[in-house]
A and B are shown apart, each in its own frame.
Chain A
Amino acid sequence: MQVDFHYYATYCAAFIAGWSHEESLSIADSAQFVDCCSRTLLDKVGAPTAAATTQLQLELMESGADPLSLQNITRIWASFHFLPANLFAERKKCSKQYLNKYRLICNVNSTLLADTVELARGRSLEAVGVAMHILADTWAHRYFAGTPSLVINNTGLDFYELVPDGEGFRERPVHFNNNPASPDDPEKGLYTNSLYQWDENSVMNLGHGRAGHLPDYSYARYRYLPAWGEYREIVKDNPSDYMYAFRQMVYALKCLRKKGIFFETDVYDTEAVRPYEDRIREILEKRQLIASQDWKAFGESLSGQPIPDFTTETWTREYSEASKENRDDTRLGRFILAALAQKSMVTNRIFKSGSLLAGISVNIEEKGFKGVQVYRKLLKLKQEEDVHD
């Protein structure tokens, strides 16, 4: 998803769920920041780079195809943008290597999603924002995996957009080009995707690169053949999926506001969203590459307060200006803790499923392993939470 949903729509969902304007802004800010928190940004302000939640194109290009680099890529993308749906999925007649990648395919309403949301309970608003980003992305990025893999993430030549035409749809072939400088043209069905690379582990085969930005456009409906699908077609209905994502976010945000109500998968707060459904549907169905203005207008009509444009500057400035002892209390500091916790949890689950695609995970508490120093903050946080309980 893009800034229109991660920032503005998350703000709207938080407000509808009962959070105040300032709290909703913090949550939305953090949700969008997941798409900005790269190693480069963290390095610039002297923050721990292990907390990176995304990778810039340049970082991906510089990243090799060696096992360590691939593990680093998988840790980031699987933890924050392509949450695996079933780490114990079975598939007949395939190698263990293929099975491990197959198990990383993202989909909605997984147990890992429930754990992601619950991980944010009782923690900072930044942690809530991180969870909402991940939740939203499970709807947009479903059927793709957060690891470079041609045999999972490639798409077939048959790629058709379903363009609304009266009561039904008109099918139009999608024409992809590999020029990232040329903007997508929804009117002509011209979109950019990543270059076909027959190397299995090429970064061009990461996530939904082969489908271009179509999964991130709320208006898009399309059918295609995923490489893992054994020639079974998928019809992706983004307006419907995004509506479900919104309803589920409202439900999740309500759960996190209240004690004793635990997040359950496949539950949506349809009632709370119903009064705004028509307006939301109108925004989602509008054929535009970015719907920020519409979502912003909707959010401001909800709260009656202006919503500032998103910027990373306030995050980095606050962190840089804070003293070393107080950095954990800044927005970026709290975000870093949330990101480390999330990454740690997902990496651990992938490792426990018998896969090394995200690297080795060590339980610091049990093993007394010193390991990466920055992760010891999580241990300290957990100990403080245990004392508090």
Chain B
Amino acid sequence: MTAIQVPAPDNSEGMTRFRKSRDTLINVGRGNLLLCAWSAVKYLGRVIMVAPRELENILESATSQEVVVTKGQLILLMIIMLAIVVIVTSLPRAIVSLSAIAEGRGKRRGILYLILSAGLIFYGIMEILTLIIQLLPPQKEDLVLDVTIATLIIDVTSVVLLVEMLRAVFQVRKYHRSENSREAQKG
């Protein structure tokens, strides 16, 4: 009985880079999912802390002819609206995150989520610039400083994650293309 030769591992530079990029996609995807949760928490925080006060202000300033709904109904309406906002703002990020994770696990994905990522990056940069401007005087006096700085840090993290994700996607797809052309040449 002779010994069977096992195939040698492929540890070429291209292959290790491909594996690293695939891992990055999965990790970044998971990180982005956490940021979705952060967006939801942020809006929920507003619902719980800010909405009742705003509602009181609306009801106090409204005249008797303007008040056609009860306070409970107004609260419900506000919750529904905020839920829609959360879904609409989180959905693109969730799509991007899940697609990145799926691509990292070897499933092929189209171009849509890359376009969404580019959009989210642009949106993120705009948010960062807005926050930076807000931090400059004289606007600074009106701010809750620590909340603004925390939001800035998270927005920067979000943009960095998305850029890293795009870089990893291009590496993975570049590797697949080179493999396909190598297979085509062999055939």
Contacts and interface: CB of A to CB of B under 8 A. Distances in A.
Interface in A222-270: 223, 225, 230-235, 237, 239-240, 243
Contacts of A237: 6
A83 B11 CA distance: 26
Contacts, number: 44
A235 B7 contact: yes
Interface stretch (B15-23, B63-71, B90-98, B114-122): B15-23
Nearest to A157: B105
A162 B4 CA distance: 11
Interface in B96-125: 105
Given A232-B16, A285-B1, A169 B10 contact: no
B3 interface: yes
Interface string B1-42: 101101111110000110110010000000000000000000
A182 B17 CA distance: 37
A66 interface: no
Interface residues of B, number: 15
B6 A162 contact: yes
Interface residues of A, number: 25
A282 B1 CA distance: 7
A267 B104 CA distance: 44
B16 A169 contact: no
Contacts of A243: 3
Contacts of B9: 223, 232-235
Interface string A122-144: 00000000000000000000000
Interface of A: 156-158, 162, 164, 167-169, 221, 223, 225, 230-235, 237, 239-240, 243, 278, 281-282, 285
Contacts of B20: 231
A164 B10 CA distance: 19
Contacts of A235: 6-9
Interface of B: 1, 3-4, 6-11, 16-17, 19-20, 23, 105
A222 to B, nearest CB: 10
B41 to A, nearest CB: 22
Contact of A281 (B1, B8, B11): B1
Contacts of B6: 162, 169, 221, 235, 237, 240
Interface of B is mostly: loop
Contacts of A169: 4, 6-7
Given A223-B9, A235-B9, A230 B4 contact: no
Nearest to A234: B9
Given A169-B7, A221-B6, A231 B23 contact: yes
Given A223-B9, A231-B19, A278-B1, 14 more contacts: A162-B6, A167-B4, A169-B4, A230-B16, A231-B16, A231-B20, A231-B23, A235-B7, A237-B6, A239-B3, A240-B3, A240-B6, A281-B1, A285-B1
A358 to B, nearest CB: 31
Contacts of B7: 162, 168-169, 235
Nearest to A162: B6
A243 B8 CA distance: 19
Nearest to B18: A231
A233 B3 contact: no
Closest 6 CB pairs of A and B: A233-B9, A231-B19, A231-B16, A232-B11, A235-B9, A237-B6
Nearest to A164: B4
A150 to B, nearest CB: 14
B25 to A, nearest CB: 12
A40 to B, nearest CB: 40
12 contacts: A162-B7, A169-B4, A221-B6, A225-B19, A232-B9, A233-B11, A240-B6, A243-B3, A281-B1, A281-B3, A282-B1, A285-B1
Nearest to A235: B9
Contacts of A233: 9-11, 19
